[in-house]
Structures are given as C-alpha cells and as structure tokens.
DNA sequence: CCATCTTTGTGCACGCGTTCACAAAGACAT
DNA sequence: ATGTCTTTGTGAACGCGTGCACAAAGATGG
C-alpha cells in the first residue's frame, strides 16, 4: 500500500496500536456494506473474510476498543459502525483543503468518498493565477496567496498536498504555520515537519517499484542460477546515463494540468 | 500511507526483507537527485537524512544488497543507483495497463513518473463505449472487451485498477486470468486473488481516516477526562442513521468523470 | 434449571523490524 | 610504514504485531 507513517515510532495512542488503527477503516467499510443490507449481526469470521484479514486479528483489534461482541452470537453491526466511527473521529466534521489543483488534485476534489466519511472539501488552492476562480468539482479554486487566511477562516486541520515535488515542502511549511497538523502528501518528496504534525504519504511510483521487485523475482525464480550476488566487477561504467537523462522525472505527483 | 500488502505474510524474498524493499525506492529517489547534482559519494548519514530515515536502518538495508560502501568515505552514488535499480527490476521495461479511465485514471495516465522508472503505459482501458478511441495523455482508450487481447499482445504483467469499487473484482479476475500477476488497486475494495499474484492498495479514504484518528486524539488530549472507556449504556439507538444515509458512498476510487 | 454448542476475548509464543553500539575497514596525513 | 580519524557493516537486544489455541461467556434447546 502506498502508505507510510512519519514520526512517532509506534506510539500506541491511548492503547490502540497503530496497526489496528490502520485496519479500522477497513472494518468500517465492510460493516457499512452489511448495514446497507440490513444485516443485524456478524461474526468475527464473516467480517474478517469481508475485510480480508484473519479472524483472530480482527477480534484482537476490537478488543482494544472494548468488549462490543456477544459470545455465541457475534457483533451488532450498527453498534460497531458507531463505535468505530466515533473512535476514528468520523462523527465530527473535518474541513480539508487540497493544494495543487492539477490532474490529480482535480480528481481528488471530485472524490465522492470524502463527504460520506465526515470529510468536507473546504477549499481548493493553486499557485496558478489562471486557475483562480475557476470552479473544480463545484468549488472555485483560490490562489495560494490566501492560503493562511483560508486555513484560519475554515478551521482546517487536515491538508492534502497534490503539488509538484518542488513546491511541496514550501506548501507544507505554510500549511503547518497556519495551523494544519495532519498532512496527506501525494508529492514524491520527503516532507519534514515539526513534532506533533502527522504526515502520511501516497506515492504511486513507489508502489509500482515494489510491484516490479516482486514481479522480477517471480520471473527470475528458475532463470537465476548464480547471478548477481557478489559485487565482483559489476558494470560500473555502463550505469551513468541509464536511468537519468530524461529531464526532471517524478516532479509531479500524478500529472499536472498538461 | 496508502499502502497495504496482501498475501505472503512476510516472505523475505531472496533474503531482502519486505520493509527494506519498500524503502529502496525512497533511497533511489534521493540518490537520483544527488546524481543530477553530480555528487560523487554520499555517507549513510547524509543519504538517510535525505530519505527521511535513520542511518542505522539505511546501512542495514544496504547490507542486504551487499557491501557497496567504502568505510571512511561512504557510498558511490552512481554505483548505488545502478544496484538499487537492478534490484528493483527497473533496468527492464514494464508495460502497464490502466483500467478505468475516469478522473483518477486519466490523472494516472498523465503521470510523468511512469516512464522515468521503466514503466510504460501500454494501454488505457475503460468500460464506457463512448470513451473508446478518445485519446487520454496521447493514448487512445480501448474498450474492456479487448482486455484479454491487450494484455497478451503487450505482455503486460502489471495492472492498475482505477474503476469504481463495484467493477474492481471483476476487472481483477479478468486481468489475472489474462496473465497479470501484479495489481495496483485504487478502488476501495478488498480484492481476492489467487496465490502468486501481488496486490497493493492505495486508498485515499483510509488515509484520511487514519489522519482523523490522530487529529482527534491530539485535539482531545486535555479535554477527555473519563470519556468512552467503558461500554456502559452507550447510545445504541442514536447511531443507526448517523453515517449512512447518503447514497453509495465510496463507490469510486477518486472521482469518476462527473 | 441444566446441558450443549457457538463465538468471543485473550494469554502466550514466535518472528520481523528497529535501534544501539562497536569492531573492522579503509582513507589520509605525517 | 604507522597512526589517526571517519564511516561502514553487523551482532545483539528489544518491542511490536501476528497467529494459535483455549478458557470463559452467553445463547439456545430440552
């Protein structure tokens, strides 16, 4: 997954392990589906299958939230939906700003999954003056100059960065200075932030590279005999302009306007 | 971050831990930047800072690849770029298909970071007949009917799913049947695949929910006294139509055409 | 009211990943 | 050549996360 925490080595926040927190949205999605089908209760086995985890893990995860199940029966779907929503903080409204309205930013702005989970796109921000005022997903784009004011006026604490890599750190700094304490970063850069600010990273390029690694391993499982294990006289010369040479490569998170 | 492996509990492929593999692209990016600035060598300390990890971890990671450093000096940038590229399988060409050319699919098709890492968009596929033939990012969209043929003709082994959730599993099954063995899934669903197929997941909604959790915890750090620790008579009634009620929520990965 | 059967909640062990801390290796100056 | 200084590579300890396996809890039927 294109995931990646930063900071806080593994602070088990109020007793709930990070790994469990990361799975709660998964459970919530499966439970919501059951709820829509008016299923009253579900066993750990069934829910685990729906969420793609094993049942022991699911039960342990739920045990961190409290004893919400009934032995011999299972879990009350509606009740669990409520408890998980509350635990994740989805019962309140989270205004979000998206900075960088290129191809990706626009796609994110149109994302329907925002509103249904308590996230509200409070503003779209872009550095291009030509974009200003132009509506994207029904929301007029505002200029970067007003970033601080927008953050403060709307009480925004979550920011999404979808700018080119070069602008990301600067945007990040301004967001943080204006009061944002959680950032979802789509730009292919490592952001540095002060303590107390959470950053999560989504990086398409990294995901593909990880897949390529496994793909290569699968392909070369029987081909490889005694290939490249030792650094014995590797082709050091033929490497220089092997992967570079084609301009500023991953400079944009997922394509800019054009 | 929006990451998430599936299958293979933690198979340390040929001795390289999964966690290390996930960081190699990060190192590669930092090294490429150094290479473009013509920096000849770099110490573990410097490179670690650039990649946002600590130096001990970086050194251990590199130790799985072999002894490529020089004590007292550091690592040869160009050489390391080559070694990591090779290890990740980026020295070869990876044809990729993107299925589901909505807002997100189009953004991905335009993503510049593809080509620069050995990934080539071999085809764009969509179920909408109206899209067929229409060029996106310079590539004509093809219809889902030809999916199998496209996969086989191009020798595609990596597929990207950017369809609505409802179509994802079906598309996945067809991709796998046609020979795809690595899938990057943007649809908010759990995909089930046979052994030997790798799936990585990117899920915006989940990332935001995780951020919301931490955000809530930060906000309620001093507010909370003895809040919701015990399941004592929780408001079970007032929960039913609290988060549902607004249609099929996260049905699309990151917005459809409109 | 008791027996049986289902399913939860969790104690325990194991393995992966991270970090510390240091010895070995080499560059560089004298 | 010898010594000093820098930086790597890694042994060892620790902590988190996972999964097994089972006891406790409660529903259900007689």
Digit-coded pLDDT (tens) for A226-244:
343 333 333 333 333 333 3
- Residue ranges near strand D (C-beta within 7 Å): A 10, 12, 17-20, 53-54, 56-57, 59-60, 70-73; B 9, 43-45, 55-56, 59-60, 62-63, 67-75
Q: Which helix (H) or strand (E) holds B24?
A: helix B18-36
Contacts 24+ apart (CB under 8 A), A131-140: A131/A101, A136/A101, A136/A105, A136/A106, A136/A109, A136/A110, A137/A106, A137/A109, A137/A110, A137/B255, A139/A109
Contact B78 A50 (CB under 8 A): no
Q: Give yes or no for a contact between A142 and A132, defined as CB atoms under 8 angstroms apart.
A: yes
Over 50: is that where the pLDDT of B6 sits? no
pLDDT at B150 over 60: yes
Q: What is the mean pLDDT of residues A211-229?
A: 71
C-alpha pair distances (Å), B125 with each of B100, B146, B162, B172, B207 = 6, 8, 10, 13, 27
Share in percent of chain A as helix, strand, coil (round to 5): 45, 15, 40
The structure tokens 């899938």 sit at B183
Of B89, B211, B228, the CB nearest to A86: B228
Name the phi and psi angles at B144, rounded to 5: -55, -30
Residue from A206, A218, A227 to probe the interface with B (highest B Cβ count within 10 Å): A206
Which pLDDT does position A167 carry in this prediction? 98
CA dist B85 and B27 (Å) reads 10
- Residues 181-210 of chain A whose Cβ lies under 8 A from any Cβ of chain B: 181-184, 188, 190, 192, 196, 198, 200-210
Read off the pLDDT of residues B118-134 as tens digits, 9 standing for 90 and up: 899 999 999 999 999 99
* pLDDT for A225: 40
CA A163 to chain B, closest CA, distance in angstroms equals 13
Nucleotides of D under 7 A from a protein CB: 5-11, 15-21, 24-28
The pLDDT value recorded for residue B222 is: 56
DSSP structure string for A66-97? ---EETTTEEEHHHHHHHHHHHHTTTS-EEEE
Minimum-distance CB partner of B103 among A110, A190, A214: A110
Q: Do A198 and B181 touch (CB under 8 A)?
A: no
The continuous run of DSSP H or E covering B86 comes out as helix B77-88
Taking the CA of residue B145 and the nearest CA in chain A, the distance in Å comes to 25
Q: In the numeric block, which tokens belong to residue A75?
A: 């879990």
Q: Say whether B119 sits in a helix, a strand or coil.
A: strand
CB contact under 8 A, A117 and B249: yes
| Class of residue A139 by CB neighbours under 10 A (exposed 0-12, middle 13-18, buried 19+) | middle
- Residue A146 pLDDT: 98
B117 reaches A (C-beta below 8 A): yes
Q: Residue A119 forms beta bridges with which residues?
A: A94
Q: What is the per-residue pLDDT for B249?
A: 42
Q: Work out the percent of chain B whose per-residue pLDDT is above 90.
A: 76
> What is the residue-averaged pLDDT of chain B?
85
- Which residue is it, tokens 């700094």? A173
CA distances from A112 to A118, B102, B205 (A): 11, 13, 10
Strand pairing class (B41-42; B74-76) = antiparallel
pLDDT digits (tens, 9 = 90+) for A114-130: 877 889 999 999 999 99
A255 pLDDT higher than 50 = no
Cβ distance B85 to B104 under 8 Å? no
B40 CB neighbours strand C below 7 A: no
pLDDT band at residue B71, thresholds of 50, 70 and 90? Answer: very high
Q: Chain B residue closest to A253 (CA)?
A: B111
Question: Structural domains in chain A?
Answer: 13-88 (1.10.10.10), 94-204 (3.40.50.720)
Is B3–A1 a contact, with Cβ atoms under 8 angstroms apart?
yes
pLDDT at residue A156 tops 90: yes
Nearest 10 degrees: Cα torsion B213, A194, B30, A126: 70
Q: Where does the pLDDT of residue A252 fall: very low under 50, low under 70, confident under 90, or very high at 90 and above?
A: low
Residues of A in contact with B249 (CB under 8 A): 32, 112-113, 115-117
Residue A10, nucleotide of least CA–C1' distance:
D16
Cβ-contact B111, B54 below 8 angstroms: no
Instruction: State chain A's mean pLDDT as an integer.
Output: 85
CB of B235 within 8 Å of a chain A CB? The answer is yes
- Give, in order, the Cα–Cα distances in Å from B99 to each of B45, B168, B184: 41, 9, 10
């Amino acid at each position: 997954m294109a995931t990646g925490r930063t900071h806080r080595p593994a602070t088990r926040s109020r007793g709930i392990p990070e790994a469990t927190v990361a799975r709660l949205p998964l459970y919530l999605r499966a439970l919501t589906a059951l709820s829509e089908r008016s299923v009253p209760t579900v066993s750990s086995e069934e829910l685990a299958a729906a969420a793609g985890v094993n049942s022991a893990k699911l039960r342990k995860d739920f045990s961190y939230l409290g004893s919400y199940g009934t032995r011999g029966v299972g879990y009350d779907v509606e009740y669990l939906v409520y408890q998980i929503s509350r635990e994740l903080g989805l019962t309140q409204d989270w205004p979000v700003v998206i900075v960088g309205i290129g191809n990706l930013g626009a796609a994110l702005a149109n994302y329907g999954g925002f509103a249904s989970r308590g996230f509200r796109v409070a503003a779209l921000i872009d550095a291009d003056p030509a974009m200003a005022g132009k509506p994207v997903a029904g929301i007029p784009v505002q200029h970067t100059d007003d970033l601080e004011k927008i953050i403060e006026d709307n009480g925004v604490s979550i920011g999404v960065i979808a700018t080119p890599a070069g602008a990301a750190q600067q945007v990040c700094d301004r967001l943080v200075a204006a009061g944002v304490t959680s950032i979802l970063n789509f730009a292919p850069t490592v952001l540095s932030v002060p303590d107390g600010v959470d950053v999560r990273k989504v990086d398409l390029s990294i995901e593909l590279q990880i897949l390529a690694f496994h793909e290569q391993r699968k392909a070369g499982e029987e081909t490889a005999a005694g290939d490249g294990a030792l650094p014995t006289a590797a082709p050091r010369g033929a490497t220089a302009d092997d992967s570079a040479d084609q301009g500023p490569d991953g400079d944009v998170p997922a394509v800019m306007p054009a």
